[in-house]
């Protein structure tokens, strides 16, 4: 029987070390076993290289790790239970979230509870057990802090995302805490650990750059979510660093070391792609040009409204000067018209202020200034708040109230000018609240107007209503006066 030299044993044990076998004397078991196999091969006349090459085919790093996992699984009850929990909760939450997404797309009821339940299981069961398993598998005591910060930051972040999706209060705080923990604690510790592990200075640079790029990328996400200034610069810088510098270098290094693309690498790239797409979706930036158009449109409409207001005031002043007989005939109608018009106008304007207040979280006075100069609004592309306020959870939002107000106004105005078919037509046309129906598509008026509309695009919708109300006021006023004058 051949026996291996100290140097040859050294080579084998270095390879087994790579698999990070830390379970009691398992590493000794495996090294001795592999050595015995190699010795048996060598006794049939092979060189050490050839013999070891052959044996290595059977005992890859993955297989060695698998043995450690199986051993731990067999012995450690905690480990076993955690692993089971990880599998079960991972599957359940994935199914729940998948179904909830489909339900959401089709506007079926139940998407909300599905998201809540799925996220709850994901963040409270799957994530902690996965971290535990990872911790036990790596089994390095000094990495405890790394796993702990990942656990806290990850849970806070996931709960924050859930709150954000459900439009619950506190999402911002949760996201800041989560991202903050990941940014300020997890990332630096990760960097520290990777730097310690890195063998060459090239590796060190690569790791630092990767963590640095990640920090910038995460920061841009946080800034965007919180509407802090500077997010676009960060996202540009972060993604350039991540995709054009770090990723190619990492791929190169990985390829050079392994000589082939490993499954782990494919997994890493795929998951990071998903994470990045998700980040982009959450913090997506509507093109500035599109937003500019809405600002301009609103500005022009509001200019017309101002003009109409002045004109209507003139007509009212003219009316004041008219003879008593006319006043006797028309005063009540004119008063009703003026009051109802002002009420509806105020209601619409109030909605604008409420929306801006809710999205930009400002006081009422600032919001009032902002709706005059809409370019000052910060959360221009926010559609969640618009949706929540106008449509509510089940079409019970302000839009339905608005529709009712408009209908009341139409009825009351119509009563003042029954005989005039032209005005009747105008009223129906300019304050249309019919549902939007085409042969293949049906939406209620509320959804048609406000579903998925970003804040800056919803303001011209209101301004347009204000304009039409003012124009109607003029037409109706005119017809009342003319009728009594028999003109």
Q: In this complex, which beta carbon is closest to other proteins, that of residue 36 or of residue 184?
A: 36
Q: Residue 370 class from Cβ within 10 Å (0-12 exposed, 13-18 middle, 19+ buried)?
A: buried
Q: In this complex, which beta carbon is closest to other proteins, that of residue 3 or of residue 244?
A: 3
Q: In this complex, which beta carbon is closest to other proteins, that of residue 41 or of residue 298?
A: 41
Compute φ and ψ for 437, nearest 5 degrees.
-130, 125
Among 11, 22, 26, 99, binds other proteins (CB under 8 A): 26
Among 14, 18, 75, 322, binds other proteins (CB under 8 A): 75
User: Would you report the helix, strand and coil content of the chain in percent, each value rounded to 5?
Assistant: 80, 0, 20
Residue span binding other proteins (CB under 8 A) among the ranges 32-40, 106-114, 374-382, 475-483: 32-40
Contact at 8 Å (CB) between 387 and 450?
Answer: yes
Give 5-31 as a DSSP string. Answer: -HHHHHHHHHHHHHTT--STTHHHHHH
Q: What three-state secondary structure class fits 261?
A: coil
Decide: is 74 part of the binding site for other proteins (CB under 8 A): yes
Decide: is 35 part of the binding site for other proteins (CB under 8 A): yes
Decide: is 14 part of the binding site for other proteins (CB under 8 A): no
Decide: is 77 part of the binding site for other proteins (CB under 8 A): no
Decide: is 32 part of the binding site for other proteins (CB under 8 A): yes
Name the minimum Å distance from CB 87 to other proteins.
19
Decide: is 19 part of the binding site for other proteins (CB under 8 A): no
Among 15, 29, 203, 475, binds other proteins (CB under 8 A): 29
CA 182 – CA 175 distance, rounded (Å): 10
Contact at 8 Å (CB) between 110 and 102?
Answer: no
Decide: is 66 part of the binding site for other proteins (CB under 8 A): yes
Other Cβ atoms closer than 10 A to 38: 25
Q: Degrees (nearest 5) of the Cα angle 57, 61, 67?
A: 105
Burial profile 123-150: b = 16 or more Cβ within 10 angstroms, e = fewer: bebbbbbbbbbebbbeeeeebeebbbbb
Among 19, 42, 51, 59, binds other proteins (CB under 8 A): 59
Residue span binding other proteins (CB under 8 A) among the ranges 73-81, 95-103, 370-378, 427-435: 73-81
Decide: is 6 part of the binding site for other proteins (CB under 8 A): yes
Q: Binding residues for other proteins, per CB under 8 A?
A: 3-6, 9, 13, 23-26, 28-33, 35-37, 39, 59, 63, 66-67, 70-71, 73-75
């Amino acid at each position: 029987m051949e026996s291996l030299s100290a140097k040859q044993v050294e080579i084998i044990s270095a390879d087994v070390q790579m698999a990070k076998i830390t379970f009691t004397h398992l590493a000794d078991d495996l090294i001795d076993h592999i050595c015995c196999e190699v010795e048996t091969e060598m006794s049939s006349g092979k060189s050490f290289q050839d013999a070891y090459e052959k044996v290595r085919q059977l005992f890859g790093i993955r297989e060695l790790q698998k043995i450690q996992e199986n051993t731990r699984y067999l012995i450690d009850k905690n480990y076993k239970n955690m692993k089971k929990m990880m599998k079960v909760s991972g599957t359940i939450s994935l199914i729940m979230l998948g179904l909830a997404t489909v339900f959401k797309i089709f506007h079926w009821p139940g998407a909300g509870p599905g998201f809540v339940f799925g996220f709850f299981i994901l963040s409270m069961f799957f994530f902690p057990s996965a971290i535990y398993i990872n911790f036990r598998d790596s089994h390095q005591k000094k990495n405890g802090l790394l796993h702990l910060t990942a656990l806290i930051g990850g849970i806070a972040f996931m709960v924050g995302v859930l709150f954000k999706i459900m439009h619950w209060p506190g999402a911002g705080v949760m996201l800041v805490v989560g991202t903050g923990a990941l940014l300020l604690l997890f990332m630096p510790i990760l960097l520290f650990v990777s730097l310690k592990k890195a063998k060459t200075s090239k590796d060190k640079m690569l790791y630092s750059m990767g963590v640095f790029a990640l920090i910038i990328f995460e920061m841009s996400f946080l800034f965007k979510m919180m509407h802090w200034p500077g997010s676009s610069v960060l996202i540009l810088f972060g993604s350039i660093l991540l995709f054009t510098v770090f990723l190619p270098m990492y791929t190169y290094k990985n390829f050079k070391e392994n000589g082939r693309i490993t499954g782990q690498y494919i997994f890493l790239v795929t998951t990071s792609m998903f994470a990045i797409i998700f980040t982009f979706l959450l913090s997506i930036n509507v093109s500035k040009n599109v937003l500019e158009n809405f600002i301009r449109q609103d500005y022009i409409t509001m200019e017309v409204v101002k003009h109409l207001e002045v004109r209507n005031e003139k007509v009212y002043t003219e009316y004041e000067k008219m003879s008593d007989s006319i006043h006797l005939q028309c005063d009540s109608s004119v008063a009703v018209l003026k009051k109802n018009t002002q009420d509806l106008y105020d209601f619409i304007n109030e909605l604008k202020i409420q929306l801006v207040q809710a999205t930009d979280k400002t006081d009422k006075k600032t919001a009032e200034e902002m709706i005059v100069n809409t370019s000052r609004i910060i959360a221009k592309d926010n559609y969640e708040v618009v949706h929540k306020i106008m449509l509510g959870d089940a079409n019970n939002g302000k839009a339905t109230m608005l529709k009712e107000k408009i209908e009341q106004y139409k009825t009351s105005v119509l009563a003042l000018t029954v005989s005039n078919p032209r005005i009747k037509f105008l009223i129906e046309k300019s304050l249309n609240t019919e549902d939007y129906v085409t042969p293949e598509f049906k939406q209620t008026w509320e959804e048609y107007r406000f579903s998925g509309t970003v804040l800056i695009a919803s303001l011209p919708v209101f301004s347009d209503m204000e304009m039409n109300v003012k124009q109607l006021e003029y037409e109706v006023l005119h017809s009342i006066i003319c009728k009594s004058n028999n003109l």
